[in-house]
Structure 1
């Protein structure tokens, strides 16, 4: 069976074609979108799960040999923690969030691993770790889809951003695609192809077009923003080679997660001492606060979790004019609530698409602790990443040498009226149309999969 696979930064989805129509397959109960999260009772149990779910004996033997030390540690964890062989050790999607919220300090939580795949300076053990995280997630998604469909999925087209990272994009893209390919093969896909995500989103849109137009496709994903200027419509849809129809494309590692980080830093972190003063009257150092919420940066997270940062916060508590705020910050760090805080920021971003004000509740930190954020405040705080997104759109238009007839928006953050208003102000009087903000990419990948694997 053939599918389109949107392995997204924020959510994952699988699409298939039935009776000439694309439909998304439920992956978690009736939900067709699975949050890109994983919670493990212990980090080494991720690799163990991969080994257990490898169906090819030769591939399994090779993997066991490559991960021998990790798998030995996993067995030791099982003995020491009295974890039965049939006990669930990995949780995905909403279940992963639930486990993390309940036991943040006890297990290992990963959100949006796709953000890290193109990271520069990753050592071999880091690459192997991300291979295992992505494989475990893909194994779960493929198994859930096949259980729902009642048959095996063998061929897939996986979406990819234009660039996974901004620094040395060629090497970054190669590294990320290698990890995704390795994971996909270990998950059991026999044939894997890749397609740019904005092009996939455009293919879904094109299927509904009744006239030829030049379209600026803007896909604001969780980890990246990708733009493509494409000639689309009835005269182009059936063409096998579309290379001449793509007039320009841009992409950068700036997406919805970066908006969440800005909201967390600007609006929630002041509750933990950011923007307060020391007893000397000097401002509180801010970098350790940004390290706490920059959950899409391995280096920032490692620094925040280091002993050096703990000692720095303890010293700042002694030097602070408001030590209670620093005590909260220490509590947040010790209990590993920083992911939860960024999740609060994401919820605020989503809510402010439909309402003018949102109250973020932080009772898990301290009873009654909350923060109200208005849409205007949200707009002001996200200006730096928003400006980068607008620049990508302008560059794609410049590459094409023509103005778009229409702008087609997809991706979760594209729903925000703040972003839409900024786009119309920058691009001009061009109609802005909405796609399925979460399903367009998966649908387009499915259309392309049927075309190339037929």
Structure 2
């Protein structure tokens, strides 16, 4: 049995060792594998997955995906004739493959962000299910290789709310995708636990008395808040429903901070906030679309031929056409992920420094942009205000004040975020947990409870 954090930014797996959760090294250097996938062509993902499935699953899967499998086989043959590998890449390898040739192949970061999206066609849902299954198959294989045994039971973390306009219907859609994918790749028993609740379980192991804990989990794609009644006398119970006093969640996370930093910090070098020859501002919508890597519709529209013609006309109308030329290059070479990744690296660097340069010389010679913590705070002011709001919602729902605030999630490493959260509750102790490992450890503890 394992605890499985299928995260928006990273994946991690934990097992119990000597009654304590231990994270497994998924690579030689890290317990965390970035939630990214690269394929030479989108059509071959289904074929790669088919080859990885347990033999008893292959026939059923073939019946479900007959036409995509046939198309994938045709594309795979064409790639082979061109001497191109039909293997998939994951984690850092996927990002490296994308950055080497951004306009080739198929790259996806944080597919979890799309699972609850409204208006998906059945074919799109099937594609996301196959992407998730491929990533889970890779994680499962790495885990079994490290443990030298088969893994068939898992507790998977989930946010309070997945992205989607239809509330619980969107949540059910996302859970269905995750469940189908997990069972397809060989997990026999699959349970789910709220990510902030799981993080709370890990914090609970440090408590020596009954405590009301407000857990704030700022992940890659969502921020979730749970007010929990915790303490050593509760930790061995299998049903903790009565101890979840209030919770709220929103689809705002580390990806959104990256996008906002890219927009406010980098996009001015591509023409945002510049002027047309008429002295009117250059329209900003294309810049939002370009950076909206977590919105399928915006990305599709930005990379359309009609939008290219629009941007070409925009360049002719601009006072500084050389800036719009960079935006055209971004569109032509499909550099959205490249730009947001640059902003993400800048955000990470700002954890240690007030200022940091972001190198963009691969896009334009001598182009480098310096960003600051102050700029990041201004860029993310709306996201921060929303996080403050859901913290208050969880407290109001619980009808009591927390004794302590426990903060976890990779984005929470940022001093900008830490300072903001501390200001929200100046009279309550704020404990900063293991930014990446708390959720996985808590999921692992819960797996031991429900499967033990």
Residue 87 of structure 1 deviates from its aligned partner by 4.2
**1:340 corresponds to:** 338
CA separation of 1:84/1:18 partners in 2, compared to 1, >3 Å: closer, same or farther? farther
User: Is the partner of 1:276 in helix, strand or coil?
Assistant: coil
User: Is the partner of 1:82 in helix, strand or coil?
Assistant: helix
- State whether residues 113 and 134 of structure 1, in contact with CA within 8 Å, keep that contact through their aligned partners in structure 2: yes
CA separation of 1:341/1:190 partners in 2, compared to 1, >3 Å: closer, same or farther? same
**2:54 corresponds to:** 55
| Structure 2 CA distance for aligned equivalents of residues 79 and 49 of structure 1 | 13
User: Is the partner of 1:9 in helix, strand or coil?
Assistant: coil
Aligned residues: 452
Residue 149 of structure 1 deviates from its aligned partner by 0.9
**2:273 corresponds to:** 275
Residue 79 of structure 1 deviates from its aligned partner by 2.3
User: Is the partner of 1:444 in helix, strand or coil?
Assistant: helix
Alignment of 1:278-317 (within 5 A): 278-317=276-315
| Structure 2 CA distance for aligned equivalents of residues 138 and 86 of structure 1 | 24
**2:445 corresponds to:** 447
Structure 1, residues 48-105: CA drift from partner, whole Å, max 9, x if none? Answer: 1111111133x21122222222222222222222269994520000000110110111
**2:13 corresponds to:** 14
| Structure 1 CA distance for aligned equivalents of residues 82 and 24 of structure 2 | 32
**1:330 corresponds to:** 328
Q: CA RMSD in A?
A: 1.4
Structure 1, residues 372-406: CA drift from partner, whole Å, max 9, x if none? Answer: 01111111110011111110101101111111111
Residue 329 of structure 1 deviates from its aligned partner by 0.8
Please report the TM-score for the alignment, with normalisation by the length of structure 1.
Answer: 0.97
| Comparing 359-368 and 145-154, the one that deviates more | 359-368
Alignment of 1:77-156 (within 5 A): 77-82=75-80, 87-156=85-154
| Structure 2 CA distance for aligned equivalents of residues 222 and 375 of structure 1 | 19
| Structure 2 CA distance for aligned equivalents of residues 286 and 310 of structure 1 | 15
CA separation of 1:173/1:226 partners in 2, compared to 1, >3 Å: closer, same or farther? same
Structure 1, residues 129-165: CA drift from partner, whole Å, max 9, x if none? Answer: 0000000000000001111110000100000000002
Alignment of 1:203-218 (within 5 A): 203-218=201-216
| Structure 1 CA distance for aligned equivalents of residues 317 and 365 of structure 2 | 26
CA separation of 1:83/1:32 partners in 2, compared to 1, >3 Å: closer, same or farther? farther
- State whether residues 199 and 217 of structure 1, in contact with CA within 8 Å, keep that contact through their aligned partners in structure 2: yes
**1:355 corresponds to:** 353
- State whether residues 166 and 252 of structure 1, in contact with CA within 8 Å, keep that contact through their aligned partners in structure 2: no
- State whether residues 363 and 369 of structure 1, in contact with CA within 8 Å, keep that contact through their aligned partners in structure 2: yes
User: Is the partner of 1:437 in helix, strand or coil?
Assistant: coil
- State whether residues 116 and 164 of structure 2, in contact with CA within 8 Å, keep that contact through their aligned partners in structure 1: no
Q: Please point out which of 180, 183, 186 is paired with 1:185.
A: 183
Is there any run of 5+ residues in structure 1 with no aligned partner, and where? none
Q: Please point out which of 387, 408, 411 is paired with 1:410.
A: 408
**1:72 corresponds to:** 70
| Structure 2 CA distance for aligned equivalents of residues 6 and 26 of structure 1 | 13
| Structure 1 CA distance for aligned equivalents of residues 83 and 337 of structure 2 | 29
| Structure 1 CA distance for aligned equivalents of residues 309 and 64 of structure 2 | 37
**1:318 corresponds to:** 316
Residue 241 of structure 1 deviates from its aligned partner by 2.1
- State whether residues 43 and 72 of structure 2, in contact with CA within 8 Å, keep that contact through their aligned partners in structure 1: yes
**1:393 corresponds to:** 391
The list of structure 1 runs, each at least 4 consecutive aligned residues, that deviate by more than 4 angstroms after superposition, is 83-88
| Structure 1 CA distance for aligned equivalents of residues 51 and 344 of structure 2 | 34
User: Is the partner of 1:288 in helix, strand or coil?
Assistant: helix
CA separation of 1:75/1:88 partners in 2, compared to 1, >3 Å: closer, same or farther? closer
Please report the TM-score for the alignment, with normalisation by the length of structure 2.
Answer: 0.98
